Structure 1
Amino acid sequence: MRAVVTGGTAGLGRYIAEGFLQAGAQVVCGARGEGQSGELVKRYGEFVHYHPADVREPASVDGLMTEAADRFGGVDIVVANAGITRNGTVRRLSPEHWRDVMSTNVDGVFHTVQAALPHLERGGGGTILTLSSAMTGRIAPGASAYVASKAAVEAFTRCCAVEFAGRRVRVNCLSPGILTVGMGAAVCADERLRAAYWPRLLAGRAGTPQEAVNAAVFLVSPAASYVNGQVVQVDGGLL
């Protein structure tokens, strides 16, 4: 299998890329910076490749998909993972920070999916996985831009699943809760936030990246062939 992971050089995206590699896939990691991609190349050699890409720019994402198809002979799996956050209450959040989040988290997913579709169709179908957040249903003050962007991703995912069903392309969304990597790492490191969130976690702890990766690998695999248009929460039972 041949996969493209945006934001695949750091945070959860890097772990998803490695999970695919461990499952036998060839992976192209697209991101604005190389991040930890060098570690993956050392471990997996020619099975993984970093390609610079900015999901805010349609031409950049087109180039990423073309590079993956040329390098590995096609594209079967696309993970639209690249995302950012800018904290601030609605009253204080700057328009620039709002646009930063929307252009990456919403426009970026749209550009990624649109660029991927012709390559997936050319190969007879495939799977797309978008990334949301448990915060879409458990609102926290100061996260309006991030929460709004991820709610948009969930709705967009469902629309794509309906539109692409006849094209043999499945589209699902992975919605992680508090993990020990990525944006969740800040929660884990803050004693005040831990005191607020840990009693609301049925698991009693933050999730590991591998626990989210396990779900990602399942959702893009043939084992999930009857799963489509779903938002799958991996959040430890966050109340």
Structure 2
Amino acid sequence: MRLDGQTAVITGGTRGLGRAIAEACLAEGASVVVAARNPYDIKELADEHGDRLLYHQTDVTDERSVAGLMAAAVEAFGGIDVLVNNAGVSRDGKIARLSVADWNATLATNLTGVFLCTRAVIAPMTAPDKATSAGGRIINVSSCVAGRAAIGAAAYSASKAAVEMFTRTSAAELAPKGITVNCLSPGYIDEGMGKELASNERAWESYRGRLLSGRLGRPEEVGATAVFLASRDSSYVNGSVVEVNGGLMWAA
């Protein structure tokens, strides 16, 4: 129970990797606020964990909505110890045909959303009653394409590369406040886009050889890494990008 007594706020937490991270945090004893525009099937998880799980409708691109999320978390659980900036969208398209609207929508959620949530969580993480805690933990979710060229993913890749630099900068700025900021960078996971890739036999054959593990990652493997970064076990890890990709060799 490494997160016993802790409160975690997870954006994009109602499905996919966000839900896997929420499940992992709940299993380790945390109270969890999952934030997203839609609840999807989160009721099943809420029924299992009762009053330790709260869903809060949130648009991470909206400053007031983000402020409301943090206020709801503090009201429900008394404070915030962990923030996982997981909410993200992908508007794929080669640059020549990528619309300005799709570019802006991608950066608004994937980058501006991280900024707004990070800024809004500083006050609750540094409240006087947190002075004796292990300090705040902020975990930003990046992607394996943040540092690797992927044709047709200009907006998504650029936004995730920016998230990694934002992670390093915010780690430097927030360290004096007792807050660590790290980045979790998943590779091809058996969920969402990774599952879609594996379902395309021709495409999957070209990618399988790039994975030293020879398989897709499991959502719970990403969740376990998030728990590590959220717990006291990672107290000396700060400003880092932790790759969870099974040994992805991009040039293979």
TM range (shorter): over 0.9
Deviations 1:59-87, CA, capped at 9 Å, x for gaps: 10110011001100110000000000011
Structure-to-structure mapping, 1:77-226, within 5 angstroms = 77-122=82-127, 123-124=130-131, 125-226=135-236
Partner of 2:3: none
Distance 1:152 1:36 in 2: 31
1:152: how far off? 0.3
Q: Is the 8 A contact 1:14 1:36 kept in 2?
A: no
Tell me, yes or no, if structure 1 residue 41 matches structure 2 residue 31. Answer: no
Q: Which runs of 5+ in 1 are unaligned?
A: none
Gaps of 5+ in 2: 1-5
TM norm structure 1: 0.98
Are residues 1:23 and 2:33 paired?
no
Shift of 1:139: 1.7
Cα offsets for 1:178-214 (capped at 9, x unmatched): 0011222221211122011100100001000011111
In 1, the alpha carbon distance for the partners of 2:222 and 2:100 equals: 32
Q: Is the 8 A contact 1:127 1:170 kept in 2?
A: yes
CA contact (8 A) 1:9 1:33 kept: yes
TM-score by length of 2: 0.93
How many residues are aligned here? 239
Deviations 1:109-149 (A, max 9, x none): 00110111111011233100000001112221000000000
Moved over 4 A (4+): none
